[in-house]
Structures are given as structure tokens and as C-alpha cells.
Chains A and B, each alone.
Chain A
Amino acid sequence: MFGLNKIIPVEPNINFLGLRRNFLIFSILAMLISIVLLSIKGLNLGIDFKGGTLIEVSTKNTSIGELREILSSSYSDVSLQEFGNENIILIRLQNRSNQESIETVNSVKNLIQDKVVEFRRSEFVGPTISSELLFRGFQAVSFALIAILIYIWLRFEWQFGFGAVVALTHDVLFTLGLLSILNVEFSLATIAAILTIAGYSINDTVVIFDRVRENLRKYKKLELVDLFNLSVNNTLSRTIMTSLTTLLALVSLFIFGGEVIRPFALTMIIGVIIGTYSSVFIAVPTLLIFKFRPQDEDD
């Protein structure tokens, strides 16, 4: 039987927890910077949450500059952007009242009619809807986090639940911070991506916790730090393998999946990396706060 899996030793012995202080400082800094960024710069909200109008057109024999000239004489709040290639242009307009927006779409279409090959898409989200969508997005994320935590709490001891919360909060904050720096558009799809990241990160954490629990029963005498290290090492090749295959699929989606899905794929890639990191370097060290041993010996 051949296989490169021997690259990763069957029983690796890397001292992950020895470095925990450095990683803890790094993560705390990352979270603080994220919070600052989110409160100062904020997220690049798309029309789903900000409201407004978006028109995607494919053009010929024209340039983005020419279209901008035509449109900006009538609309001061118009912004244009190439989307994937130079013949495809996204036109965005600020939010206005529902009725006005519909008329605006019509008149924008008339103004550039003869430069356009196809109106590929037009989206309009009114002010009431955008705030509802934002609210529902928050609702979905909070409920999902709570439900996941309840599940962890039922399946494991509550200490593990705490470790999972810390890791999850870290992942969501860190991801949002990076989205803010990279100016990735924040849309309904991003909410889906963040929830999936939450699911993925917890998934990763659960696999390691599972092993911690097993080892706690198996090695009654082992120092906690060593036991945690052992658990992380036991599951290391799985952690790496799954992250890599998931990333392979996501990178393929990012490169080949088309312009519309790209922000989603990017968010997921960031999230999977952060989620994997946090399972090993944040979730497990958090368990050190608790004294598992006395309880165990009581059993």
C-alpha cells in the first residue's frame, strides 16, 4: 500500500501548548484590532443590508469611464466598478424611496441602452427590507451559535462548552476583522459563510475535544498539559487533512466559481484557516483554566 500519509508521523509529538502564551497574545491582539476596525471602518455592506440599487451590464465598444460620464451627469450618487472583466460593469446607486428607485432603474437603463449588450442583473433592496434582512441575519447567527453551544453542553461537560464559545467568538470576530481590512462585500451570502464557518470550526473543535475526553478516561495520571498535547497530536493529521481538502474545494470555488460567489468563497477560506487555528491554539488551551482531575477522580 502506498501513501504519503507517512509524512505526518502516526504519533507526532509537537508541543502545541508550550507556545500557548504567544498564540493567546496574538489572538487577543487580533480580536482587539478587529473590534477597533469594525467600530471605526466598519464592514463594506452590500445592498442587502444597506439598501439601494445594483445593475450589472455587459457592454461593448465602451469603457467604464464613458459610462460613468453618461450616468454621473444625471446621478451624483452613482458608482461603477468592473466585475470580473472589463466588459462587465456593476452600477450601484444609493438608496432612495421605493418608488424613486424603480424609476431610477428605468432611466439608467434608458441612458445606457445603446452601449449595453445585456442587462445581466438588476437588484433593488428597499430601506425597510434591508434593515429586516440585517436583523434576520443577526438572529440567524445568534440562534445558530446558541443551538450549537447547547448541543456541545449536552454532549460534553460544560467546560468544553466554554472552550467552544471562546473559540467561536474568536473565529467570528477575527473573520469579520479581516473582511473589514480586505473590504470584502458583506451580503446575505456572507452571513451564510459565517454560519458555515461557525459550524466548521465547532466541528474541528469537537473532534479534538472528543479525543481529550477519551484520553481523560484513559490516562488518569498524565499531566493535563501533556494530555491536551497528546490529544491535539492524536488528531493532528485529521485536522490537517480535512482543512486541506476543504480548502482545495474552496480555492477551486474562488478561482472558477464566478465573480458573484467570490466574496463568499474568500470569506469561507479565511474562516476555515482561522477555525482550524483556533481549535488547536485557542479552544484546547482554554480548557486549562478548569481542573478536570478532581472531578474525574470522584467518578
Chain B
Amino acid sequence: MKNYPIWKSFTVISLVLLGIIFAIPSIIYDENSENWFLKNKINLGLDLQGGSYLLLEVQLDVLYKEELDNFVDSVRLISRDQAVKIEKIDIQENEVVVFFTNKEKIKDIRDSFFQMYRGVSLQISNNRLSIKLNDEYRKIIQDSAIKQSLEIVRKRIDESGTKEPLIQRSGKKRILLQLPGVKDPERIKDLLGKTAKLTFHIVDNENTSALQNNLAPFGKIIVPDMYDENTKYLLDKRAVVGGENLVDAKGSFDQTEGHAVSFRFDTEGAQKFGKVTTNNIGKNLAVVLDGVVITAPRINSAITGGSGIITGNFNAQEASDLAVLLRAGALPAPLEIVEERSVGAGLGADSIAAGQIAAIIGMVLVCIFMILIYGTFGALANVSLIVNLFIIISLLGTIGATLTLPGIAGIVLTIGMAVDANVLIFERIKEESLKQTKVFQIVKNGFDRAMSTILDANITTLIAAVLLFAFGSGPIRGFSITLSLGVIASMFTALMLTNFLVYMYLSFANKKELKL
């Protein structure tokens, strides 16, 4: 073996062996293996293993509006304390403008207000106080809302029994979910689509004119029934107690009421609940979930034990889902699904099978073609091509990359493009063989001359692939990963492995002349 350093052969052989060994876990593909080695297998993307991808957007506008409403309530309370009359209140998109009948105490009101809401912009002009929701204040609301939402979404998904979910913040106001293996995405969407804000309110049965005119007086709200929109209730705006005081909730079955949700309050909640039920015997207590009354039973006796049940026209699944929602807690703001991609396990399996067939047939065609054109050299290039495939698979497995359907397309494409480097080398060898007769010199020159072209040509493809990764989303990234790995692996196999194989072949066959 002249002209070929031992260290180089050693490096090539070990890299090839490593490539083949680390491809084994992905080829065997034992899904549940706990073996440290077999765990290094390719992760299948949702489009191949089946599952749901959801992108949720936190409805921050709702929160901003809520905060403006809070401003109004607080200003009213403060001015009542200060005995200042309010002429009118103007609620705009971004600010609340309060007109007072006189301007004497307006500064005191502003100061008291500022004590409660630090960070808002307050401005006085004449008898007018404007309270503005500035960008900083919005950002605080936004960040805490996303943080809370993430936590609640995580709890709800965990409760739903999804294995290995990926839940993360995406951009300013979005949450990204990847739920592998989910069979019923509709149920998950139902679970996420509810804010699940639970509150208990005393019902006002006396003021019937308010309901007739559909105009709630200060401190009251009108809320429709869950099952019948035309039935409305006049409730105290202030909640007696809310979902945040719940410590447990579960679906239960009651002989007379059917499916229900039983719940338990923490100490604070139990105390509040006990006190209110003691003081309001004979009145009705409305259970309000996300702006509708589920039920409004009469308080027959004081409930001091801190637990109770919510009845409604539930079936078993609805009752247990409501319990899940109550246990996980309320979302600070509604979530809207802005993108969904769900793939069933059947389509995923079909895609894998089709991808494998395409890859194998593509491979066989390219191999036959190479042998037809380059003979023995073509066969050597084919060995490189096959090793190339092993290396891509083992790299995907060891770096824990995710293989998607476009990713499979990337691999098949790489099979076609990977021989390019070999072709460039062989064509150079062909040209060199016309100029001189020394076999090893021909090969050496062929490889050397082809080198810079191979680098230039592959780097441009790599640039495209890397940018695709940077700006692409989801499955497209899978494509750019396999394409990049394929390009890198093909440079190695052509410049090192084919090189090694060609030298080996020429040494052992003891070729005296080279005609390609």
C-alpha cells in the first residue's frame, strides 16, 4: 500500500465503523428500549409518528380591557371615599378618562390611584384625569400572562395523559405545543379552549327591573345561563370565592343529580364560603364558569365543611374534563388556536413506508447507473454512497435530531446529489489519465484538482440549507437538517472514503495503467 499513510487509513476506517455502529439503534428502532446505546435513535417528527402540533395565542386584548375595567372600578371607589362626584367616564382603547364635577381633590385621587397601580401613566388637565395603559405596563401584563398560561397549559396537558409533550413559549404572545401520539386532538383543543375561570356569586333576586332593562347597576353584573341564553341572572359583581381557592376537584356521580364535579376549598376558601353561606340562607348562589352560570342553587343551610358539588347537565367525560380544568386552574386570558397540524398514526406509518421505498429504489437506481457508467470505480463510489447513508442516519440519531417527512425527502435527494463529489473526482481522473501514465499520480492529481470545486459547490448548498433552517418552521427544518448532514457526509465519504477505496483497489489489483 504505497502512498497511503497508515494513520489516514486508520482514521477513515474508524469513522466509517462509527458511522455504521451508531446507525444501528435507528435501524433496529426499538421504541421502548431503555438501553443506553439503543436510545440513540432518530426521533420521529409528529408527521411520521402521528400527533398534534398546536400554536396558541394568548388573547392579551382581553386582559388589557379587563385592566381598564379595574381602573374604572378603583377610581369609583376612591372618589366615593373622597366624596367627589364623577361626571362621566370615557373608556377608550388604551386609556380611561374620568371627568369629575370639580377639580379640587383630583390630585389626591391621582395619588391614591397611583398607590394601587404603580407604573400607569396618569395625567391631569382641568377636571379630567386620564389613566393610560402604557407599553411598560402592558409588557408586565403580557409577561405574567404568558408565564401563567404556560403553567396552566402544562398542568392541563399533563392531566390529559399525553406522554412527552413539548410546551414552550413562541414569540411574544404564543405558546407552542407538540403532542406526540395524541389520538383525539379535539378533546385537547376543548381542554385548552376554556379559560376555566370559576367564581361563586350571590344572586340578586329582588331587583327585577334591572334584568328587564338588561342594565346592571354599579356593583352588579348580568350573566346568562349556560344552557339557555335567554335565562339571565343578576349577580353581585364581587365574587364570594373563586377557583383559585380550590384544592381539589373530581368528577363524581350523584344518585339524584347525575354526573357532577365535587370540589374542596382550601382553608381561606372554606372560611369565606362558610361565612357567606351562613349570612345568605334563602338566597341563591350562582356558580359561574367563563361568563356563564352553570347552576344557581338555593342556599338551604350554611356550608362550613369547605366542600361541595357542582351539578349541571354533564355527561361523565364533561364532568371529568371540568374537574381537570378546575384542578389545573384558570387561564389569565383566553387562548386562541391559530395553527393546528394533526396527523393520525396511519398516515404517519404510510409516509415512513413510502419514504423507505423511495429511498431504497432511488439508491438502487443510482448505484446501477454509477456501475454502468464508471464500472469498478462506480462500485467503489456506491460503497461510499451506502456508508454516506449510514452516517446520515447515525448523525441524526446521536444529535437527537427529528426526522420529518420533508427530512426523508432530503435524504432521498442527498442520495442523488451525494455522488456528485465522486463524479467530479472521477471526471478529473479521466482527464488526468490522458495526460500521464503513472497510475497513482493520476489519482492524486484527480483528487487534488477536484477538491476546490467540491468545496465551492457544496458550500453553496450548505448556505441554502442553513438559511432554510434559520427561517423555516417545523417540518422544513427537518429537511434542512438532513440536507446539511447529507452534504457534509458526502464530502467526507467522497474525499476520504472513496479516496481510500480507490488507493486500495489500485494497490491490490496492481494496476499498471488507468483508463476510466
- A124 touching B339 by the CB < 8 A rule? yes
Are A249's CB and B362's CB within 8 A?
Answer: yes
Chain B residues with Cβ below 8 Å from A56 are 347
Give the interface SS of chain B, mostly helix, strand, loop or mixed: helix
**CB–CB A261/B406 < 8 A:** yes
User: Across the two chains, which residue of chain A brings its CB closest to B345?
Assistant: A118
Q: Do B473 and A256 have beta carbons less than 8 Å apart?
A: no
Q: Mark B424-442, 1 if CB is under 8 A from A, else 0.
A: 1001001100100000000
Q: Is B113 an interface residue (CB 8 A)?
A: no
Whether B372 pairs with A118 at a CB distance below 8 angstroms is no
CB pair A136 B471 closer than 8 Å: yes
Select one of A99, A242, A260 contacting B351, CB under 8 A. A260
**A72 to B186 CA separation, bound complex (whole angstroms):** 22
Task: Verify A144–B419 contact, CB threshold 8 A.
Answer: no
Report chain A residues within 8 Å CB of B374: 3, 5
Residues of B contacting A261 in the complex (Cβ-Cβ under 8 angstroms): 351, 354-355, 358, 405-406, 408-409
Say yes or no for B341: interface residue by CB 8 A criterion: yes
Binds A, one of B145-153, B280-288, B457-465: B457-465
A4–B57 CA distance with the chains assembled, in angstroms: 60
Question: A125-150: which residues lie under 8 A (CB-CB) from chain B?
Answer: 125-126, 128-129, 133, 136-137, 139-140, 143-144, 147-148
In the bound complex, what is the Cα–Cα distance between A147 and B52 (angstroms)? 35
The reply on B5 being an interface residue by CB < 8 A is no
A106 at the interface (CB under 8 A from B): yes
Q: A210-B453, A252-B361 are in contact. Are A129 and B412 (CB under 8 A)?
A: no
> In the complex, are the beta carbons of B463 and A144 less than 8 A apart?
yes
Say if the beta carbon of A200 comes within 8 Å of chain B.
yes
| Those of B329-369 within 8 Å (CB) of chain A | 336-344, 346-347, 350-351, 354-355, 357-359, 361-363, 365-366, 369
Say how far A246's CB is from chain B's closest CB, in angstroms: 4
B457: shortest Cβ distance to chain A, in Å? 4
Name the A residues within 8 Å of B423 (CB-CB): 238, 241-242, 245
Q: Which of B344, B417, B473 contacts A121 (CB 8 A)?
A: B344
**Is B322 close to A, CB under 8 A?**
no
**Segment at the interface with B among A36-44, A174-182, A184-192, A285-293:** A184-192
Q: Which of A20-28, A63-71, A201-209, A219-227 contacts B (4 or more CB under 8 A)?
A: A201-209
Chain B min CB distance to A113 (Å): 12
User: How distant is the Cα of A204 from the Cα of B483 in the complex, in angstroms?
Assistant: 17
Q: Among A1, A109, A126, A246, point to the contact of B516 (Cβ < 8 A).
A: A1
Contact of A2 among B343, B375, B461 (CB under 8 A): B375
Q: Do B412 and A118 touch (CB < 8 A)?
A: no
Is the CB–CB distance between A192 and B472 below 8 Å? Answer: yes
Instruction: Give the chain B neighbours of A203 by CB distance below 8 A.
Output: 420, 457-458, 460-461
Whether A244 and B369, one on each chain, are in contact in the complex, defined by CB atoms closer than 8 angstroms, is yes
> Residue A247 at the B interface, CB < 8 A?
yes
Contact B338 A3 (CB under 8 A): no
- For residue A198, CB closer than 8 A to chain B, the reply is yes
A237 at the interface (CB under 8 A from B): yes
Q: How far is the CB of A1 from chain B (nearest CB, A)?
A: 5
User: A14 contacts the other chain (Cβ, under 8 Å)?
Assistant: no
Whether B339 contacts A126 by the Cβ 8 Å rule is yes
Least CB distance, A264 to chain B, in whole angstroms: 6
Contacts of B305 in A (CB 8 A): none
Residue of A5, A126, A207, A245 touching B424 (CB-CB under 8 A): A207
Which of chain A's residues has its CB closest to B457's CB? A203
With A120-B343, A249-B366, A258-B351 as known contacts, state yes or no: A200 contacts B467, CB within 8 Å.
no
From A99, A109, A122, A246, give the contact of B416 (CB < 8 A): A246
Complexed CA–CA distance, A200 and B351 (Å): 25
User: Total interface residues on A, using CB and 8 Å?
Assistant: 78
Query: Which residues on the B side are within 8 Å of A98 (C-beta)?
Result: 57, 336-338
B476–A188 CB distance below 8 A: yes
Cα–Cα distance between A199 and B419 once the two chains are bound (Å): 16
A118 and B346 within 8 A (CB): yes
Measured CA separation A99–B347 after assembly (Å)? 26
A109 to chain B, nearest CB (A): 7
CB atoms of B376 and A1 under 8 A apart? yes
Contact with B along A46-86 (1 / 0, CB 8 A): 00000000001010000000000000000000000000000
Q: Is the CB of B463 within 8 A of A151?
A: yes
Of residues 141 through 174 on chain A, the ones whose CB sits less than 8 Å from some CB of chain B are 143-144, 147-148, 151-152, 155
> Which residues of B lie under 8 Å from residue A188 when comparing CB positions?
472-476
Q: Is the CB of A5 within 8 A of B464?
A: no
| Tier of interface size on chain B | 35 or more
Contact check, B373 vs A140: say whether CB atoms are below 8 A apart: no
Q: Which of A124, A136, A234, A242 is within 8 Å of B431, CB to CB?
A: A234
Contact B344 A118 (CB under 8 A): yes
Scan B291-320; emit 1 where CB is below 8 A from any A CB, else 0.
000000000000000000000000000000
Asked if B468 contacts A192 (CB within 8 A), the reply is: yes
In the complex, the answer to whether A196 meets B476 with C-beta atoms within 8 Å is no
Assess the A140–B409 pair: CB atoms within 8 A.
no
Does B415 belong to the interface (CB within 8 Å)? Answer: yes
Determine the distance from Cα of A168 to Cα of B354 in the docked complex, in whole angstroms. 32
Q: Is A111 an interface residue (CB 8 A)?
A: no
B339 touches A245 (CB 8 A): no
Docked-complex contact B412 and A195, CB < 8 angstroms = no
Complex-state Cα separation, A195 to B461, whole angstroms: 9
B372 touches A250 (CB 8 A): no
Which listed residue (B340, B416, B424, B463) contacts A250, Cβ 8 A? B416
Q: How far is the CA of A137 from the CA of B470 in the complex (A)?
A: 11
Q: Are A151 and B459 in contact (CB under 8 A)?
A: yes
Q: Name the residue in A1, A147, A237 with the highest tally of chain B Cβ atoms < 10 Å from its Cβ.
A: A1
Q: Are B405 and A140 in contact, with the CB atoms below 8 A?
A: no
Q: Can you list, as one digit per residue, whether each of A245-274 has a CB less than 8 Å from chain B (1) or not (0)?
A: 111111011011110110011001000000
A129 touches B355 (CB 8 A): no
**B199 within 8 A of partner (CB):** no
On chain B, the residues within 8 Å of A196 by CB distance are 413, 461, 464-465, 468, 483
Among the listed A3, A136, A253, which residue makes an inter-chain contact with B375, where contact means beta carbons less than 8 Å apart? A3
- When the two chains form the complex, which single residue of A106, A109, A128, A210 contacts B452, counting CB atoms closer than 8 Å? A210
A139 to B473, CA, bound (A): 12
Question: Is B420 in contact with A122, judged by CB distance below 8 angstroms?
Answer: no
Residues from chain B with Cβ under 8 Å of A125 in the complex? 339
Q: Which positions 457-516 of chain B face chain A at CB distance < 8 Å?
A: 457-461, 463-465, 467-468, 470-476, 479-480, 483, 515-516
Q: How far is the CA of A248 from the CA of B351 in the complex (A)?
A: 20
Alpha-carbon gap, A148 to B424, bound state (A): 21
Residues A143 and B413 in contact, CB atoms below 8 Å apart: no
A-B contact pairs, 11 of them (CB 8 A): A1-B377, A5-B373, A118-B344, A121-B344, A129-B55, A136-B472, A203-B461, A245-B370, A245-B420, A256-B354, A260-B405
Q: Which residues of B contact A (CB under 8 A)?
A: 55, 57, 185-186, 189, 193, 336-344, 346-347, 350-351, 354-355, 357-359, 361-363, 365-366, 369-370, 372-378, 405-406, 408-409, 412-413, 415-417, 419-420, 423-424, 427, 430-431, 434, 452-453, 456-461, 463-465, 467-468, 470-476, 479-480, 483, 515-516
Q: Beyond the given A196-B464, A203-B457, could you list 18 further A-B residue pairs with CB under 8 A, ordered by the A residue number?
A: A2-B375, A3-B377, A4-B373, A10-B430, A98-B57, A120-B347, A121-B343, A143-B471, A144-B464, A151-B459, A188-B475, A196-B413, A196-B468, A199-B461, A248-B365, A248-B369, A249-B366, A256-B358
What 4 A-B pairs have minimum CB-CB distances, sorted nearest first? A249-B416, A258-B354, A199-B464, A140-B471
